[in-house]
Amino acid sequence: MQPSFFQDAAKASSSPAIKPPADLAAPLAARLRPTTFGEFIGQEHLLGPGKVLRTAVETRQLGSLVLWGPPGTGKTTLAMLLIRLLDLETHSLSAVTAGVTELRKVIEAAQRARQARRRTALIVDEIHRWNKAQQDALLPSVEEGLITLLGLTSENPYFDLVPALRSRLRILRLEPLRPDHVHAILERALAEPSHGLGRVGCTVEPAAMELLVQTSGGDARLALNGLEAAAALAITGEGDARIAVATVEEALQRRNVRYDRAGDDHYQTISAFIKSVRGSDPDAAIFWLAKMLAAGEEARFIARRIVILASEDVGNADPQALVLAEAAARAVEHIGMPEAQLILAQATTYLATAPKSNAAAKALWTAQAAIQRGATLEVPLHLRNASFGGAGGLGYGEGYEYTHDYEEDDPRRYRQRHLPSGVEGPFYKPTEHGFEATIRHCLARIRQIRDRDGGTGRPGDGA
């Protein structure tokens, strides 16, 4: 529902209404672009009563902001509606084609508008593509309020915007549309008589509608493009246009997976993959692997992450995991795609179902933390290399006890100190998971032998 405030403000605005393209040859998604907030669907977390963007408009305190979200979630439309609502003079630039020269022309126009007591807004599409120099050129105008910036980006602005500009902006995240949102948009497209498909009397079977909704991935533009393509296939000579599942499948051919190998989707998807393997969920791990493969992610990148996972998250709970992961990485390099995806699937499911332990990694992190806190780093004299001339005179190697001189159950085999003075363990604390339970048992036995007959030993070897 369109909030009453938005209705009243729209009526009062002197800015021209947003008009869809008159050309029916334009894409359906362009023809159906919302012209009022009443037609805008989704993003209630920003536009609902008491929410951040609704409040900003109600108080006329919009300020410069970045609308960040996946394609087809309404970034451009929302920017246009906000600017019309607040009655701002508007300039638009694409960061793909425009640079500092075009930006300076906008700034000059904004200065003239200020003299006429008019406020200026600048919409910058794909703002993440501007380099540091271009962003710095924009900074003074945003800081002094000469320009109200509305940046649009599908990439994480925390990665791509320079801190100085980012600190002067409000970053608002748009989420993929819910299935019910996409369904409502498609129904509107089917019913709209002038710019939509109402003029040709399209009908969509429920299963076909569900397929359009599910394959859109929350992208309204993708859903409308699919509907338009399906309608074109379904129209017969008599003007009947009944869209069935087979029609949608033919129109879509292959689902377009939203994914940028250098952007936010890349990082978020590999994060989900790693956490699924770590969480022993092979179904989720395979799903995220399938998404990456469908999007064309580099197989070698996935293989490298699998090798790291084998060590960090499986570790000594299953020492074979690292062997298999490394073998998989070599095989991927040797075999290549598409067969390499089978190797990745095998390694993924093995790691996801393997017993887990990060005890080895935690041992390293704990030791590193001890070093950062100022632990002594000098190698004890008895552990130093005494094989070069003059080493003996320096006391190197003096007092070292050769481990193999003692039987396995002799306490002297384990009493020798190997840490610097003042540094105490344990750093490695094996778990009870998988093979690491065997390691834990061995360490407990060593401690028992070392401490036999009143031996002093070192505290806690992690058993």
Q: What is the rounded distance in angstroms from the CA atom of residue 413 to the CA atom of residue 58?
A: 77
- Residues 303-351 have pLDDT tens digits of 999 999 999 999 888 999 999 999 999 999 888 888 888 999 999 999 9
Is the Cβ–Cβ distance between 222 and 253 less than 8 Å?
A: no
Q: What is the rounded distance in angstroms from the CA atom of residue 359 to the CA atom of residue 427?
A: 9
SS3 161: coil
Of the candidate ranges 29-38, 47-56, 262-271, 338-347, the one whose mean pLDDT is the lowest? 262-271
The token pair that represents 66 in the structure block: 């970045």
Average pLDDT value for residue range 133-144: 88
Of the candidate ranges 15-19, 99-103, 425-429, the one whose mean pLDDT is the lowest? 15-19
267 compared with 145, residue with greater pLDDT: 145
- pLDDT for 324: 93
Average pLDDT value for residue range 127-139: 88
Rounded to two decimals, the pTM is 0.61
- pLDDT for 63: 86
187 compared with 403, residue with greater pLDDT: 187
- Residues 155-172 have pLDDT tens digits of 888 888 889 898 889 999
Q: Closest by alpha carbon to 158, among 143, 149, 169?
A: 169
The neighbouring-strand residues paired with 294 are none
Q: How confident is the model at residue 183 (pLDDT cuts 50, 70, 90)?
A: very high
Q: How confident is the model at residue 134 (pLDDT cuts 50, 70, 90)?
A: confident
Burial (CB count <10 Å: 0-12, 13-18, 19+), residue 271: exposed
Of 75-84, 177-186, 379-388, 406-415, which one has max mean pLDDT?
A: 177-186
- Residues 358-367 have pLDDT tens digits of 888 888 888 8
Q: What is the rounded distance in angstroms from the CA atom of residue 435 to the CA atom of residue 452?
A: 26
Burial (CB count <10 Å: 0-12, 13-18, 19+), residue 206: exposed
Mean pLDDT across the chain, nearest whole number?
81
- Residues 263-283 have pLDDT tens digits of 667 788 888 999 999 988 888
Q: What is the rounded distance in angstroms from the CA atom of residue 215 to the CA atom of residue 10?
A: 34
Show the CA angle centred on residue 366, arms to residues 361 and 367, nearest 5°. 100
Q: pLDDT over 90 for what percent of the chain? A: 21
Q: Closest by alpha carbon to 353, among 285, 288, 433, 280?
A: 280
- pLDDT for 458: 44
SS3 92: strand
Is the Cβ–Cβ distance between 354 and 434 less than 8 Å?
A: yes
- Residues 216-266 have pLDDT tens digits of 888 999 899 999 888 888 876 455 678 888 888 888 876 556 655 556 677
- pLDDT for 3: 46
- pLDDT for 196: 85
Is pLDDT above 60 for 7? no
For the chain, list the domains and their CATH numbers. Answer: 4-173 (3.40.50.300), 179-252 (1.10.8.60), 264-353 (1.20.272.10), 359-454 (1.10.3710.10)
